[in-house]
């Protein structure tokens, strides 16, 4: 089963260690959806690839992402590569097991790629990855961080997994400790409820990661969701009405 949470935390800490100035500009993700980060219903979002990507990969990403448009009143338009004005700027140049997207209109406040999709078409998790990252691009946050999620995380186990991976790569202990708590809060822990549009907690959401038993206290675990849930569809209709 995917250990996407740990992979993403480690990837994010590595990125901050290699580009601390750029990372400090980035805004912390903190909502199920924040009204201020949503696009305007009816808006066309331009999609541009920012590094060399085969055309069939672009088509596959576009096709998978377009499932959101059955529910959200938005349009996607593929534009030329490296179009800095595009609302969604995709890099495919990353590790298969780490992916990322800015939340909604955050992409207009930052330069460079707004989304990383390292998982290639044909991979078991390709569609999950595209739907999940485009959920972020539409302004949705992680469902496992829902204020009511109440997942019994084993934080000490998570800390030692993260420390172990980064220490093996030669990252000094104090740098790991310095970055780790913010990453845990950003990626695992429930978010405060204020300023959020929150629908009821949905463990079947595409925005909910698999939770491994080894990351929790007791025997709590959940599998990975591969399709949009009914609540994901409802969220898309609610946030972008008029379809
Ligand atoms: Zn995510």
DSSP the chain: ---HHHHHHHHHHHHHHH-HHHHHHSPPP--S--GGGPPPTTPEEEEEE-S---HHHHHHHHHHHGGGGGTSS-EEEE--TT-TT-SEEEE--S-TT-EEE--GGGGGTS-S-SEEE-SPTTSTTHHHHHHHHHHHHTT---GGG-TT----B-HHHHHHHHHHHHHHTT--HHHHHHHHHHHHHHHTSPPP-TT---PPP-TT-TTSPPB-GGGBSTT--B----S--HHHHHHHHHHS---
**95-124 pLDDT per residue, tens:** 887 788 999 999 999 999 999 999 999 999
Q: Residue 225's pLDDT band (boundaries 50, 70, 90)?
A: very high
Domain boundaries, the chain: 4-24+32-238
Q: From ligand 1's centre to the CA of 29, what distance in Å?
A: 10
**151-178 pLDDT per residue, tens:** 999 999 999 999 998 888 888 888 888 8
Q: From ligand 1's centre to the CA of 82, what distance in Å?
A: 23
Q: From ligand 1's centre to the CA of 43, what distance in Å?
A: 23
* Domain 4-24+32-238 falls under CATH 3.30.300.20: no
Q: From ligand 1's centre to the CA of 155, what distance in Å?
A: 19
């Amino acid at each position: 089963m995917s250990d996407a949470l740990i992979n993403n935390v480690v990837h994010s800490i590595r990125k901050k260690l290699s580009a601390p100035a750029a990372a400090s500009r980035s805004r912390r993700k903190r909502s199920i959806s924040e009204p201020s980060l949503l696009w305007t219903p009816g808006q066309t979002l331009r999609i541009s690839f920012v590094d060399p990507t085969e055309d069939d990969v672009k088509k596959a990403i576009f096709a998978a992402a377009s499932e959101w448009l059955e529910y959200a009143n938005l349009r996607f338009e593929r534009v030329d590569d490296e179009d800095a004005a595009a609302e969604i700027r995709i890099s495919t140049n990353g590790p298969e097991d780490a992916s990322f997207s800015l939340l909604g209109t955050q992409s207009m406040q930052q330069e460079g790629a707004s989304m990383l999709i390292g998982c290639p078409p044909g991979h078991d998790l390709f569609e999950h990855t595209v739907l999940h990252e485009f959920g972020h691009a539409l302004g949705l946050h992680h469902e496992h961080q829902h204020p009511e999620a109440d997942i019994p995380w084993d934080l000490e186990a998570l800390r030692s997994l993260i420390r172990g991976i980064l220490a093996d790569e030669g990252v000094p202990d104090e740098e790991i400790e310095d970055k780790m708590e913010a990453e845990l809060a950003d990626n695992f822990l429930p978010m405060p409820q204020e300023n959020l549009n929150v629908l009821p907690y949905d463990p079947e959401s595409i925005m909910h990661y698999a939770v491994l038993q080894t990351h929790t206290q007791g025997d709590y675990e959940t599998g990975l969701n591969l399709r949009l849930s009914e609540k994901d569809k409802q969220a898309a209709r609610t946030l972008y009405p008029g379809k």
